[in-house]
Each structure stands twice: as structure tokens, then as C-alpha cells.
Structure 1
Amino acid sequence: MIAIVTDSTSSLSGSDAERERITVVPLQVIIGAEVHTEGEDVTSEMIADALASFVPVSTSRPTPDEFLAVYERLASEGAEAIVSVHLSARMSGTLDSAVLAAKQASVPVTCVDSTQVGIATGFAAGRAAQARDAGEDVVGVADAARRAGETSTALLYVDTLEYLRRGGRVGAAAALIGSALAVKPILTISDGLVVPLERVRTQAKALARLEALAVESAHACADGFDIGVQHLAALSTATAVAERLASTLERESIPVDEVGAVIGAHVGPGMIAVTITPR
């Protein structure tokens, strides 16, 4: 049996993870002096409120010992091998912790850098689960996850680059340019990093452009695609974006979810993201 592991930034709900038989290892969020565990005792609303109130917010990766404990539990439950799929190694040390734990595990563990964040990592873990259930070996399962991450398109609108700048996720120069020109940036993930894609003058124009780019990406997927919309403290805006995309792409609906606390801590309130992963 091959077990699939991912981390809590993958935005998998408890029901989705259980259905796909994916084990989720949580990251931690520090609000002020209080340490919280993502998915357990911290909400995105808490993050949005803290950021709006200028309360310091930071995040912490799982330790190698925490990963090892999960790997050994899965081994004791019958796993003969493990594929561990995580957010971009260029944005977090989570994969490093997984790799260190893998070296000590009693069963073979293959660690995969999804090169993505958020639901794109979740889609990659889901692809791994599908490959496992289809009878693929460890190499095939890991490749399925890796391909999903590498071919995903993640598009993000943020009200300001300030929160990403604070966390070191984009360069200070990019944040300065955004502030100086009072623009609304559209970002993407390239080679595992958050990078500016376009700069638009107003929120309305930025969201329209975000939708156009998402449609273009979806239409390029010859064999279909998975799509999701995420947000932080912007449910009505995200819902409107999802409804317009569903209409254009001729889908009954597109899932809308609030982004997890860890990612929320870095993007700030008002973020809207659209992720497309080819099938």
C-alpha cells in the first residue's frame, strides 16, 4: 500500500482528505505570542483580524520529528511506501523537514516539491491519490503529483503586496513599485516563487483581467481541468468571480473556499486566487 501525505497549506478539507485517503500534516501560525495549529485552532478570520490590527503574524513549518511520527504511524498501519507532496520548497522549509524525516523512516518515502501553494498543492496530492488508486507504483504516483504541480496555473489578486513583502515572498522593489503607482497587482507562481504578472489600475479591472487569464489557461487544457477559487476575507467578491468563470467555462459551479491560515498570513485580506490544474 502506498500512503499519500501533504501539508495543511494544500487547502484540502477534512472530508476531501479522508475521501482521497490523504494524510495532512499541519503547519503552525503564530499570532502575537500565541502559537496555533492550522486546521485545528486558528481560522482565516483570526488571521485577517490580526493583520488588520497590525498584530504580528508569522508561520512555522512542521519539524522533521513531526513528519517522522506521521510516516511511522502510516507504516504501522500497513503502508509499504509513502509519497509526501508539499508546497514550494522555495517558499517554505516544509519540504526540507519532510526530506530529513524520510531519511529516518522505516519505509521508503518519496518527497515531491509541488512548486505550488494553496489548492494547486492539494490538486497535486489528489493526482497522487488517483494514480495510487489506479495501481501505479511509487514512481508513477510521485510523477503524477509532480506533473500536476508543474502544469498548474495559479493566479492571485492582492489588494497590496505589503504582506508578501513582510514575509519575504516577493522582493521589496516589487512592493515599492506597487505602492508608488497605486496599482492592483496580479501575481502568479513561477518556478516555485510568487512573481508579479501584471499591474492594473483598479480592482475591477484587475479582477476582470484575472478572470480572462484563468479562462485562457482553462481553454489550453486539452483533456479538461480542475479549478478552484480561494480568498481571504473577500467571500462576496470571490463568489462573484467564481460565478462569472462558471458561466464562461460552462460549468455548473466552481468551488469557493477561504484560503488557509498560513497562506492568509502572507497574502492579506482581500486576496482572490484562481487555480487551474490540467487533467
Structure 2
Amino acid sequence: MSKIAIVTDSTAYLPTDTIHKYGITVVPLMVNFGQESHKEGVDITSDQFFARLAVEKNLPTTSQPSVGEMVQAYERLLESHDSVIGIFLSSKLSGTAHSAETASRMVEGDITVIDSKITAFGQARLVLTACEMIAAGNDKETIVAKLNEMVETIKAFFIVDSLEHLHRGGRVSGAAALIGSLLQVKPILHVEDGKLELLEKVRTRKKSLARIAELVKEKQIAGKHITMAIVYTDNPSDAAEVAEQFRQQFPEADISTAQIGPVIGTHVGPGLLGFIFDQQ
């Protein structure tokens, strides 16, 4: 029995085998088509979601887990563990972390909630680091300190085909969304203190990719190893091609691809390429 349990939400998009290997508890967020609700990763797959998004007239909505669901997860885990570390997507993107924090005050037990200030691969990196540290025998204080340190160093850049989905979901302003309507403009966004913001306006996809490579190089820390995921929505071949380009530009880096699921996909829309990386 592990003394420390790990819980996260579905927007970490962890592979099923990883969840089983480490015994990670995943609390799903919901994606809603009108009155029809689906638990992310349980009732609807990413491929099913993007196929439906392409033909739906109305944009779906998303909703966070309830405080009650979080309480149930904590209580169940504390039956067999001494403590719980919860790692959730950025509180600037969802109320999930706030629900998790509220629930932690309603349960008797040692629970620490960490706002990842990111989502997808960045959130997954924190979860996996915690699991590996538990397996290595680290105590909770050491693990939490390491995670809090990583939260401040994980970086993310994104190219979206259009800012329409982000604007309609309330994630970027109307003024920023207008940029996406300009011919051949590929907005570059980044995550700053947990919030998705417009960084630069670059014309053409080729130039935007070149600019992101420059930005990654600017963020490179001497002596640190880069672990990066090229994240995508409905465009896996596009992500694979770009990942190969980046492997040539960053030969020492560990670069993979990972799909973003329904909840984040609702807000970024189809055609996204994201570059989420950590340096250790």
C-alpha cells in the first residue's frame, strides 16, 4: 500500500496504461452538447468528439467536477492511503482546482491541492513526476516542493487555426479574436501564470513554427534537458511532422506527440498545435 495517493482530472490526458501502472485516480470533466453530457475519457473519446465537433452547429460547453465528486474521491483514497496529492488544471482555465480545494476542507485527512497552472502534457508531467517520486520513496513534503518548483518552469506555446472557439468559450477577448479573422494570420498563444494569452501575431503557419522554435531556444536553460510534447486535436499527422522537425532542431530533447481531448478541444477548436515543455 502506497502511503501517498495521486488524483488528477481528465485534462491531463494520461494514457490508460500509465493510469493503471501508478494507480492514479482521474476525476473527469464533462463536455456537453446541449442537454447531452459526456464524461471526458469515459463516455466519449477524443476522436469521437472531434468528428462530432466538425458537424455540430452549436459549440459544446464544458463543466467541472462537483465538489461532491471530489469529496468522494478523497474519502475513498484516504481509506487506503495516509495522504493525497491532487494535481489539477490551471485555475485560470477552469474552476476544477477550486472545487478540489473546497472539497479538501470538507474531508478529514492530509490532502494537498496543486494548481498546475497548465493542462494536458504539462499537467501530466507533474502527475508522472509525483508518481515516480512516490515509487522512489520520497516523502510528501519533498514531492510537493518539487511539484511547486516545476509549476513555475513548465512552458507552453500554441498555434490555433482560429481564435473563434477561445473567444466563444470566454478564454480570449473579442479584440484578440478579431486577429484570427485576418487572412493568413496564425496567432501564437502562450500560458502566462496559468492563463492562456495572445503572445504574437505571425503571418503564415511556416513563420509561426519558426518563431516558436526561436521562443523555445530563448527559454532553453544551459545544462537542462528538455522534455516536450507536440499536442494536437484532430491533426495527428500534422503533429508528427512538426515533432520530427523539432527533433532535428533540438536533437538532445525528448520530443513526443500527445492528443488533447474533448474538454480542452472545445475551447481551442480543430487544427491546434501546442508545444508544452519542461526542463530538468
Q: TM-score range by the shorter chain?
A: over 0.9
Does the 8 Å contact 1:5/1:25 carry over to 2? yes
Q: CA deviation at 1:116?
A: 0.7
Alpha-carbon distance in 1 for matches of 2:243, 2:222: 18
Q: Deviations over 1:170-221 (max 9, x none)?
A: 111111233246511011100110011111111222123223333443x326
Percent identical residues: 37
Amino acid at match of 1:228: A
Alpha-carbon distance in 2 for matches of 1:168, 1:87: 17
Alpha-carbon distance in 2 for matches of 1:221, 1:86: 29
Q: CA deviation at 1:87?
A: 0.7
Q: Which residue of structure 2 lines up, in the alignment, with residue 263 of structure 1?
A: 264
Amino acid at match of 1:155: F
Q: Which residue of structure 1 lines up, in the alignment, with residue 98 of structure 2?
A: 96
Q: Which residue of structure 2 lines up, in the alignment, with residue 241 of structure 1?
A: 242
Q: Which residue of structure 1 lines up, in the alignment, with residue 165 of structure 2?
A: 163
Alpha-carbon distance in 2 for matches of 1:144, 1:31: 39
Alpha-carbon distance in 2 for matches of 1:237, 1:264: 16
Q: Which residue of structure 2 lines up, in the alignment, with residue 198 of structure 1?
A: 200
Count of aligned residue pairs for this structure pair: 277
Does the 8 Å contact 1:124/1:146 carry over to 2? no
2:270 paired with 1:277: no
Q: CA deviation at 1:252?
A: 8.8
* CA distance 1:251–1:18, shift in 2 (3 Å): farther
Q: Which residue of structure 1 lines up, in the alignment, with residue 230 of structure 2?
A: 229
Q: Which residue of structure 2 lines up, in the alignment, with residue 86 of structure 1?
A: 88
Equivalent runs, 1:133-144 vs 2, <5 Å: 133-144=135-146
Alpha-carbon distance in 2 for matches of 1:121, 1:62: 17
Q: Deviations over 1:52-98 (max 9, x none)?
A: 3323311110111111111111112x210101011111110001111
> Unaligned regions of 5+ residues in structure 1, if any?
none
2:8 paired with 1:6: yes
Does the 8 Å contact 1:83/1:110 carry over to 2? yes
Does the 8 Å contact 1:183/1:202 carry over to 2? yes
Alpha-carbon distance in 2 for matches of 1:135, 1:223: 24
- Which range is displaced more, 206-215 or 165-174? 206-215
CA RMSD of aligned residues (A): 1.9
2:69 paired with 1:66: yes
* SS of match in other structure, 1:236: helix
Does the 8 Å contact 2:121/2:258 carry over to 1? no
2:180 paired with 1:178: yes
Alpha-carbon distance in 1 for matches of 2:124, 2:21: 13
Task: Identify the match of residue 187 of structure 1 among 186, 189, 192.
Answer: 189
Amino acid at match of 2:164: E
Q: CA deviation at 1:121?
A: 0.8
Alpha-carbon distance in 1 for matches of 2:123, 2:238: 23
- Which range is displaced more, 244-253 or 256-265? 244-253
Give the ranges of 4+ consecutive aligned residues of structure 1 lying more than 4 Å apart after TM superposition: none
* CA distance 1:172–1:221, shift in 2 (3 Å): farther
Does the 8 Å contact 2:227/2:253 carry over to 1? no
> Unaligned regions of 5+ residues in structure 2, if any?
none
Alpha-carbon distance in 2 for matches of 1:131, 1:278: 17
Taking structure 1 as the reference length, the TM-score comes to 0.92
2:59 paired with 1:56: yes
Taking structure 2 as the reference length, the TM-score comes to 0.92
Amino acid at match of 2:231: Q
Amino acid at match of 1:273: G
- Which range is displaced more, 184-193 or 31-40? 31-40
Q: CA deviation at 1:226?
A: 1.9
Alpha-carbon distance in 1 for matches of 2:253, 2:153: 24
